[in-house]
A and B are shown apart, each in its own frame.
Chain A
Amino acid sequence: MSLLDIRNLSLSIHGKPILRGISLRIAEGEIAALTGESGSGKSMTAFATLGLLPKGAKATGSITFDGTNLLTLAEPQMCDLRGREIGMVFQEPMTALNPVQTIGAQVMETILIHKAMPRDKAEARTRAVLKRVGLPPDHVPLSRYPHELSGGQRQRVVIAMAIALRPRLLIADEPTTALDVTTQAQILDLLRGLAREENMALMMITHDLAVVSDMADTLNVMRHGDIVESGPTGDVLRQMRHPYTRQLLAASRHQANLGAAKADAPLLSVQGVSRDYPMPRLSLFGPRPTFRAVKRVSFDIRRGERVGLVGESGCGKSTLTRAILGLEPVQEGQITLDGHPVWQDGHPNLKVRRKMQVVFQDPYGSFNPRHKVGRLITEPFHLLPDPPTGTARDRAIAEALTAVGLSPEDAGKHIHAFSGGQRQRIAIARALIIKPELIVFDEAVSALDVRVRAQILDLMADLSRAYGLTYLFISHDLSVVRSITDRVMVMRAGEIVEDRATKDIFDAPNHAYTRSLIAAAPQLPDDLEALNAPHPAL
């Protein structure tokens, strides 16, 4: 008998249908993956199972857990079940922990709230659980606060809270999406080990097919609140009966058509650049120690080149980006664009500044919601000595919007009228409008669904061919970098450890760190390669 048996579950929130009669079963010790794009209802399935639906939600059908229908269970009984029988791990480890409580107290709370054991035993269990998830208390004391831990460590704490009472079902909602590849590999290992060794059923929610392809026993593909395809993972991936599954797979291994690499004269030159940050004083009147985030880094980007910069969070790639954009001064070395320094006499050099633009990860956060698109994308005009006005301005807006695949009429709309992918197109239009020499894409596609990501990557490739763009593409995602760059730089602890042509790096990485990054990145099984026939852009 299945431990969890969801039958014909439908869900609407304030009358808006979210789930349309889905059925799903998970047995003890089984890893079931739920995959699909954002808004497909994956997370809502999890919240429905846990009885944590938002206000105004109406669920019909049944969710049977060990013979009990959870949908009809009263709230006090649900509270008793949550954390004890069903545990949940969330996507965002940075915000999933209470910032003002120690990690020990938060893990122990799971045990104490269910009165599972007296306090002294609960503390021993807390230590054991933290050790199990890879945070041995002699290294990471229980008295630590969340802000003193890294993202991966915090996710381990969240997992420890979820498994402290050895629940029979563990739900993990995008547990590794916010983490680096190497940390992701460790967390996935941990989750897999928990399911196998403790015979825990694991509902694994992810948008990334590669993540689940080698760990899930069954795969359920969701779209618009329906499970469109389900079955043993190998079968689903090999047969792919539903076109949507095929689209997802094609998009996740999408290769943009970059065209031939060009490399003219050097455009950006970074020579021996170091960047220091002041640290808290160790003693009251002692000198301030500094942390060197970027260590004597040197490289060139030639005109027309498309360069990737990869590395884990904290490796210094964002710091280096800010220095290149002239947002912060450097302590050593020099950065020049077309021979002119980006930072001069204690100020960003405006003449150089207007030749560079940046596209950020979160397209919504980088737009003022009160302004219309026309005004938003002309923001870079303030960098120009004589910005175009009147019809010239309108023409520039129309041209930029057309270039990114939107229509000139969109200039009159507000940003909330657009989807995530369209917003990222608008962000690119904003970067293009002053025809910059260099564009920096800072994790520009990391927040997008695979299919939208494939479209944006295609757009970048098209623009690159049409306008001869030079760009620096910063990402923690190796597969994306591979498809969109001519050359890749691998950064670790403030240093560039490898800097070679993209193909060479992926075919035969020189540096041990590069090899470990590539090995850690989740991959779809090789025997699916044949299926990866060229597919029209979606």
Chain B
Amino acid sequence: MLGYFVKRLVSLVISLIVASAVIFSVVEIAPGDPASFMLGINAQPDTVAALRTELGLDQSKLDRYLSWVGGMLTGDFGTSYTYRAPVAQMIADRLWVSLPLALYALTLSTLIAFPAGIFAAARRGGAGDLAVTGATQLGVAIPNFWFAMMLVLIFAINLRWFSAGGFPGWDAGFWTGMKALTLPAIALALPQAAILTRVMRSSLLDILGEDFIRTACAKGLSSRQALWRHGLRNALIPVLTIIGLQFAFLLAGAIIIEQVFFLPGLGRLIFQAITQRDLIVVESVVMLLVFAVILVNFLVDLAYAAVDPRLRTRT
């Protein structure tokens, strides 16, 4: 088990080093030098020169890479050129919206998908199964911004239970913040839940066809007991994989939903930074997202080992 943990940890560190090098070089190979790229074609030469000094472009590439990585390790992400504000602070502000939103949506999607998937698998081919499968078809096919607009129409405009958008900040209180995130989280969660339900159902059906389920029934377990005691844990591996991927998507991919609900999240920050050519922000946010994805995958790997004892001994 320790060997497995160390191996995954080493792979996490290596992935981070490679990812940071790739992100750094992509910015480096952007056409022209970063300073003139950020300022656009009409910039004055002395402005460009000033920015070059500010960005440290006169140093060697290796020095700049090391100071960028070193800065991030100490929490210094540099200063945004457009906003003239520390990037670390900007990211932190956005993360306080995006991270809770992603976790909220993921929790909702899991809470919907597990019961729905198990329900459908236990009634394979029955009316309940057909209903669930049909609903997931719709959920996968309909884009989440449409759900978002419907939710706003029904719950914000007609029923007036929620506000149509905006985020009051956590200073206004935990429940106020959660309330503001509820409609966006539901809109994000529905398509994800549809996917996760399908994965849960098919994974469980595969397992229910296994010999050891029949063995369990021969021991005297009812088919429902066999499903809960022997089926579920074995069916979890593909489900965990999808949950890991969905979290990564929810963290950065919520941009459309953030637009619909006027939420100051990470997605909007990247979008704005790219349109304003603020490479410093882009570089840092992308690195942060990569870190989040790699970390989640690391946690998923650990969850695999917790679920399946065969992985603990595998080399």
Contact = CB atoms under 8 A, between A and B. Distances in A.
A98 B230 contact: yes
A161 B215 contact: yes
Contacts of A76: 222
Given A90-B211, A113-B225, A145-B309, A98 B218 contact: no
A82 B218 contact: yes
B3 A284 contact: yes
B234 interface: yes
A90 B214 CA distance: 9
B211 A113 contact: no
A281 B233 CA distance: 28
A100 B214 CA distance: 16
Given A109-B229, A284-B6, A98 B222 contact: no
A280 B312 CA distance: 11
A258 interface: no
B307 A110 contact: no
Contacts of A147: 309-310, 313
A74 B214 CA distance: 18
Contacts of A95: 210-212
Contacts of B54: none
Given A83-B218, A109-B219, A97 B212 contact: yes
A82 B219 contact: yes
B217 interface: yes
Given A109-B219, A113-B220, A98 B214 contact: no
A98 B216 contact: yes
B93 interface: no
Contacts of B309: 99-100, 145, 147
A83 B219 contact: yes
Interface in A89-135: 90, 92, 95-101, 109-110, 113-114
Contacts of A75: 222
Contact of A52 (B218, B230, B234, B313): B218
**B interface, over-half SS:** helix
A147 B310 CA distance: 7
Contact of A79 (B3, B220, B313): B220
Interface residues of B, number: 27
B219 A99 contact: no
A96 B212 CA distance: 4
B215 A96 contact: yes
A235 interface: no
Contacts of B310: 99-100, 145, 147
Interface string B11-38: 0000000000000000000000000000
A342 interface: no
Interface string B192-225: 0000000000000000001110111111111001
Nearest to A113: B220
Nearest to B314: A280
A175 interface: no
Contacts of B63: none
B215 A82 contact: no
A97 B234 contact: no
Interface string A172-208: 0000000000000000000000000000000000000
B59 interface: no
B220 A114 contact: yes
A80 B220 contact: yes
A326 interface: no
A82 B220 contact: yes
B180 to A, nearest CB: 41
Interface string A70-92: 00000110011111100110101
18 contacts: A52-B217, A76-B222, A82-B217, A83-B221, A88-B218, A90-B218, A97-B212, A99-B308, A99-B309, A100-B307, A100-B308, A109-B229, A113-B219, A145-B309, A147-B313, A279-B315, A280-B313, A284-B2
Interface of B: 2-3, 6, 210-212, 214-222, 225, 229-230, 233-234, 307-310, 313-315
Given A83-B218, A90-B211, A98-B212, 15 more contacts: A52-B214, A52-B217, A80-B220, A87-B218, A95-B211, A98-B230, A100-B234, A114-B220, A147-B309, A147-B313, A161-B219, A162-B218, A280-B3, A284-B2, A284-B3
**Closest 9 interchain pairs by CB?**
A83-B220, A95-B211, A83-B219, A88-B218, A280-B315, A82-B220, A98-B212, A145-B309, A110-B219
